[in-house]
Amino acid sequence: MGDAGVFTNRSGKIRILDGTATPKFLEIDFDAADFSGPIGRARTEEILKLDRGRVTADAHYIEGPDDKIMEPLTISFGALLTDLVVTDYLLDWMEILNGATATINGHTITSTKEDTQNDGANNNPPFADSGKKACNVEIFFDGTTTDQGYKYAEVYFPLDQCQFSEGEDAVPVALSGLVFGTINRITAFTSGDSVEEAAG
């Protein structure tokens, strides 16, 4: 942690998790410490109704459609391309979300789509394209006295939005995902089984 209780990028860690009861997860080594994401979802719109165009005692707001709470939101973070197996697992996971065979190091990866409720009552709908899958993404900052973290549910990473670029010192991979599920604060990473350990 930084001075005077301020978190820095040295304090954080990112995990992606699947939808099994005891989630399979991959903790991102050599991430670029550039995570960006919202801290909550949009609410429904307030639509003003006037009395023949005038503000009177009868003027009021009505609640707009649920589109706002269902629209996907964007998160992004980067990682460095390495010759370590963790990079292979990360790229495998991205391909699984886009229809590839859903196995990493002997672990079957399950989609998290339909696992949360943006409206608090109904499970979010499945993708129209059955080949797409989603994962959960968690970022957690470990402090001396207080920790902070967020969980982004039902995240889909389109491969055409994930890009790498060459550099003299490193080859960064920029990952951009769409959050279709809930966004919540967490006090610890969700416990699970690392895909870096062979399935038993």
pLDDT in tens, 25-66: 999 988 888 999 999 999 999 999 999 999 999 999 999 999
pLDDT in tens, 110-147: 999 999 999 999 999 999 999 999 999 999 998 878 88
Sign of the alpha-carbon torsion through 157, 159, 165, 169 = positive
**CATH of the domain spanning 3-42+69-194, picked from 1.10.540, 2.30.110, 2.50.20, 2.60.40:** 2.30.110
**Which among 119, 173, 127, 179 has a CA at the least distance from the CA of 151?**
179
Q: Are 172 and 165 in contact (CB under 8 A)?
A: yes
Q: What percent of the chain has pLDDT over 90?
A: 83
Grade residue 2 by pLDDT with cuts at 50, 70 and 90: very low
Contact residues for 169 (Cβ-Cβ < 8 A; gap 6+)? none
* Cα end-to-end distance, the chain, whole Å: 36
Predicted model pTM? 0.92
